[in-house]
Structure 1
Amino acid sequence: MKPKAVIVGAGLGGCMLAHGLLDSHDVVIIERGAAAVDGRYPVVDVGLPAVTDPHFGSGLGGSTQLWHNGLIEIDEEIFAAHWPFPKSALDPYYDQAFALLSGTSLTRVREAIGKLRQRYRDIGLPDGLLQGLYYPQWPRNVWEALQLQGRVEVVRADVVDFQLDESDGIASLTVADGELRRQIPGEVFVLAAGGLSSPVLLQKLAARRQLPALRHAGAHYEDHPMGFVGEVEVTVPLYRLWNYRVPGTDGNLRLPLVVKRAGLHMSFQLRPAANYYRNSRRERVGSVLNDLRRNPWNPWRYLQLFKHWDDVLDILSFKFGIRLPTRHYTLLLCAQMPTAPELSIWGEQDSANGSERRLRRWHLSDDFRRDLDASVQDVLAWLAPVTRRARVFAEWQNGLSSAAHHSGTARLSTDAGAGVCDADARVHGLRNLFVCDGSLIPSSGIANTGLTIAALALRLAAHLRRRPYRTPEESRP
């Protein structure tokens, strides 16, 4: 008889983990969301406003129903500085995850990154750290792409409590569907509810079992600040390369420029612009592409789109391979932010209706803001040899949004004094409770978190196939 794996959350991490466990476990997924955007579970910003909406995706497939995730590996330098294991430990799972999320091999894309870097150098761009960001032509809902329907048991309910056994483990989860409550037992339990929800569940567990690791649940929060910072006019035919179709695939490769400030990575994408904006024109470039991806049959969105000619250039290149010659580009910043051990994500009951909501405190310190300003000057200096003119938008920091890459809130660590989970994604001090979503990631640098979440899920699946769980004694060196 197979052991039962109970996974909380049907997003990217939960679906990928279920896929990896189907041959060895009976899999139950608990999913509370009824739709991709479910207003029953609000997130309230008590710090900076997110701007990006929604904060996360609900339902089968989670956020993969909403966004066209770019696939990018976290830099080896980030692993060495912040992770409890080297990047080489995750590389085999990066390969597997990349193939499942894109339909092509990571080896092919890595080769294309090397060749594209050379082509950048050939047109006169200086050497610099250029990360490879690959976009499959079409987004994938992982629930559908992995064909999980009918292969796993789905429980539509909300996890409200944990039942502990007598051997430092979880015996069952208490779930609620309206007024109805019941127990879901299992041999192994995995929280894959996302970087904003898994830490809140762990905080509920802390009310039953006080463990040093659980003090970190909801702390060490990281989410990339993003925004358009300025514009440049280049003297080289960058339009031929900026959105490069990888040979033998249907996807496109982009190489963000990366500079470093105060030990942090700051990336800049050059996005084609219809012309060079004057001061009398809009300072920030708006985008309705995410709205179109969520609702492609809304004609009003297409009318809005044609007011944004930069997005039209993007679509012509991305979908149809048409690269109109332009020398004007806007600079899109995506920055690594410093984390702090303060509580940033927590839950509370809404006094108005009694429902639970998530609170998020996203904060950018004054020192970090100065580093962001300096990084813009760094990248403009880096581009100077191929730039005719450049301009930084006034008050661009006021337009920063969060990237919805919620991470760090149940982070991996070598010991319970520094984070929630050990190197195997097991909660320190509990033998059969694991985490499998963005909250595990101790630092992502400037990388979108999707590919890494998928790789961590496959790594955890491999661990659980070898052994459903390990006791705390067996885990000690």
Structure 2
Amino acid sequence: MILDAETLEHGASLEADLCIIGAGAAGISLALQFLNGPARVILVEAGQRIPDAASQALYAGEVADPALHSPPDTYRQRQFGGSTTLWGGRCMPLDPIDFRARSWMPNSGWPIGPETLAPWYPPANKLCEAGEYDYDARTAMPGGMKPMIAGFTPADFSAEGIERFSLPTNFGARYGHRLEASPHVKVLMGTSCTGIECSADGTTVQTLRLRTLSGRDATIAATRVVLATGGLEVPRLLLAARGPGHENGLGNAHDLVGRYYMCHIAGTSGRLRLNLPRGAVQHGYEVAWDGTYIRRRLSLTPEAQERLGVGNAVMRLHFPRIPDPSHGSSVLSGLYLMRWLLPYEYRKRLAGTEGEGVGPTLRHLRNMVSDPFSAMDFAWTMLRKRKLSARKFPSIIVRPPGNVFSLDFHGEQEPNPDSRVTLANSQDALGMPRLRVDWRWAAGDLRTAEATYGLLATELAKWGKGSLDFDPKEIAHDMLRDGAYGGHHIGTARMSASPTTGVVDADCRVHGMHNLWVASAAVFPTSSQANPTLTIVALALRMAAQLKRDMGQPSQATKPEAVVQG
């Protein structure tokens, strides 16, 4: 059942066997596994079914360096469905090397291995609606996918790994009806968790305090509590929960909550020239038998990562930078000139001084006039395949003239304890301290990007049918131009075998707490090259099975309830 918290009596006291704070990808995936009871589950969501400005304002906060990080109320949504209401849908599992403690990657290593998550990735893939769980280009399509660059088989890169795309699925809209129909799961909308109160010894959560924007209060006494509020809000709740036994916040005895904040190092740079026929280069998407969009990318091999002492990284063929009118594309110029019509998350990526001023603007206009039919065809295709389609075309794909591409880089960031989020001195409308974000990059992050570009340039030169030109200074500029990458908020409550090195244990239970868990990318010890959503859902499904065992309920590792119910 789904209830508006405003319908509760002021001061209402509720009880639950399990309370989940946050109805995004993790919280909804977790709650779906308890639809048939017998456990009493309460899922608390601060927002509503549709965007609400007053609720979203509760995410506002401070940023140490605005040039490096977007305001905290962007790239995440305080709404039923959480950030799945605005994500791009890109899915892929972590790589085996991501779980390893690597001597060349500071503070790396997970207390679990890839085999631990292996049973949970296929059902997570299904919940994300990313098609069949097959991330190998050789088997994802009958006869295999088309080669990215025909004849190019570099020793230090693989082009066999792929990424799949969700609809993208809004978990609130897609699965809300299942939650609404369940007598065992109660969803409380429009109320925020403003306090976590513990036992005298500080080891057991006893009461959760809730408050609506109108000032209506309620409490929940829950046997088990899961924080599923995302990589920024998790540390905010933990740090704000101060009391006997946890004077510095829950799970923060070693000052680790909020530290090791990672996103990804990402950007578009370089000029890749390929001396091949047009049909020998596949830079766009293919469509699987079930309609899922899939795409190859170049992945740096584990052996190359170790030899070079760098992080995990992938590259995709990309069109030239949109703001620079020298690309000569009417489509790209049209996108740049109409960028103000796009949402903030996409508009920010089109920023660039090379497109500003009267001269560049006139050149963009000339590009559009020179080839108006391509721009019109592109607009119609995007309207038909993205705006009007249930499974949306994932991104802009424009064939650059002359087989000259840039490379879209997405790389792992070093876990850095000085990159962190803390509580600000200001408060939100509910009296909760706001966040202060101090995201930092390390020299190793840029080294990963520069080494990957350099290695690919060497491989292309050996091959003889292509070349990659890049400037290391340009690489550094392009990777940091937008600062922290989008909505990937990772590592702020990291998983570890010991409380001296992390916040939660291998089961995502807060160290030193009997009944408090975290379901979020906050628990990732390293960021990998991969977008985090698929792994967030897989961890949530694993957690649901563990909680069921703890409650004495049966659990099927490969058949979560939300999947077998259709």
User: Is this contact kept in 1: 2:411–2:448, CA < 8 A?
Assistant: no
**Structure 2 counterpart of 1:319, from 382, 393, 397:** 393
Q: For the structure 1 residues 79 and 58, does the alpha-carbon distance in structure 2 shift closer, same or farther, using more than 3 Å as the test? A: same
After superposition, residues 293-372 of structure 1 pair within 5 angstroms as 312=378, 319=393, 327-342=403-418, 344-350=420-426, 356-372=433-449
Residue correspondences, number: 459
Aligned to 2:270: 230
Shift of 1:18: 0.8
**Structure 2 counterpart of 1:192, from 218, 228, 234:** 228
> How far apart in 2 are the matches of 1:160 and 1:277?
47
Aligned to 1:425: 508
> How far apart in 1 are the matches of 2:512 and 2:321?
56
1:79 aligns with 2:99: yes
1:49 aligns with 2:68: yes
User: Is this contact kept in 2: 1:71–1:133, CA < 8 A?
Assistant: no
Q: For the structure 1 residues 431 and 294, does the alpha-carbon distance in structure 2 shift closer, same or farther, using more than 3 Å as the test? A: same
What per-residue deviation string (whole Å, max 9, x for no partner) do you get for residues 171-215 of structure 1?
A: 120112243332111111000110001011111234443256563
Aligned to 1:298: none
Q: Which moved more, 1:16-25 or 1:365-374?
A: 365-374
Aligned to 1:201: 237
- The residue type paired with residue 478 of structure 2 is W
Shift of 1:278: 8.0
Shift of 1:256: 2.4
> How far apart in 2 are the matches of 1:157 and 1:45?
26
- The residue type paired with residue 83 of structure 1 is W
TM-score, scaled relative to structure 2: 0.71
**Structure 2 counterpart of 1:216, from 247, 252, 256:** 256
User: How many percent identity over aligned positions?
Assistant: 23
User: Is this contact kept in 1: 2:91–2:166, CA < 8 A?
Assistant: no
- The residue type paired with residue 294 of structure 2 is L
- The residue type paired with residue 234 of structure 1 is L
User: Is this contact kept in 1: 2:265–2:445, CA < 8 A?
Assistant: no
- The residue type paired with residue 173 of structure 2 is E
- The residue type paired with residue 197 of structure 1 is E
Aligned to 2:310: 263
> How far apart in 2 are the matches of 1:289 and 1:464?
46
What per-residue deviation string (whole Å, max 9, x for no partner) do you get for residues 242-273 of structure 1?
A: 33424312122222223335331222211245
> How far apart in 1 are the matches of 2:270 and 2:400?
20
Q: For the structure 1 residues 232 and 294, does the alpha-carbon distance in structure 2 shift closer, same or farther, using more than 3 Å as the test? A: closer
> How far apart in 1 are the matches of 2:341 and 2:493?
28
After superposition, residues 246-285 of structure 1 pair within 5 angstroms as 246-259=287-300, 260=305, 261-273=308-320
Q: For the structure 1 residues 373 and 465, does the alpha-carbon distance in structure 2 shift closer, same or farther, using more than 3 Å as the test? A: same
Shift of 1:13: 0.7
Aligned to 1:112: 140
What per-residue deviation string (whole Å, max 9, x for no partner) do you get for residues 333-383 of structure 1?
A: 212111122361122242798663221111113454344333322233334
- The residue type paired with residue 126 of structure 1 is P
> How far apart in 2 are the matches of 1:397 and 1:65?
26
User: Is this contact kept in 2: 1:345–1:361, CA < 8 A?
Assistant: yes
Paired residue secondary structure (1:402): coil
- The residue type paired with residue 499 of structure 2 is A
Aligned to 2:559: none
Paired residue secondary structure (1:112): coil
Aligned to 1:176: 211
**Structure 1 counterpart of 2:196, from 147, 162, 167:** 162
Q: For the structure 1 residues 414 and 137, does the alpha-carbon distance in structure 2 shift closer, same or farther, using more than 3 Å as the test? A: closer
User: Is this contact kept in 2: 1:174–1:181, CA < 8 A?
Assistant: yes
User: Is this contact kept in 2: 1:175–1:182, CA < 8 A?
Assistant: yes
Paired residue secondary structure (1:340): coil
Shift of 1:42: 0.8
Shift of 1:117: 7.4
Q: For the structure 1 residues 58 and 245, does the alpha-carbon distance in structure 2 shift closer, same or farther, using more than 3 Å as the test? A: same
Aligned to 2:105: none
Q: Which moved more, 1:319-328 or 1:227-236?
A: 319-328
Gaps of 5+ in 2: 1-14, 102-108, 347-363, 369-373, 387-391, 553-566
Aligned to 1:299: none
Shift of 1:400: 3.6
Q: For the structure 1 residues 250 and 383, does the alpha-carbon distance in structure 2 shift closer, same or farther, using more than 3 Å as the test? A: farther
Q: For the structure 1 residues 263 and 367, does the alpha-carbon distance in structure 2 shift closer, same or farther, using more than 3 Å as the test? A: closer
What per-residue deviation string (whole Å, max 9, x for no partner) do you get for residues 413-436 of structure 1?
A: 111111111111111111110000
User: Is this contact kept in 2: 1:239–1:323, CA < 8 A?
Assistant: no
After superposition, residues 133-152 of structure 1 pair within 5 angstroms as 133-136=162-165, 138-147=167-176, 148-150=178-180, 151=182, 152=185
Aligned to 1:447: 530
Paired residue secondary structure (1:88): helix
Larger radius of gyration: 2
Aligned to 2:541: 458
- The residue type paired with residue 14 of structure 1 is G
1:396 aligns with 2:478: yes
Shift of 1:238: 6.6
- The residue type paired with residue 423 of structure 2 is G
Q: For the structure 1 residues 217 and 100, does the alpha-carbon distance in structure 2 shift closer, same or farther, using more than 3 Å as the test? A: same
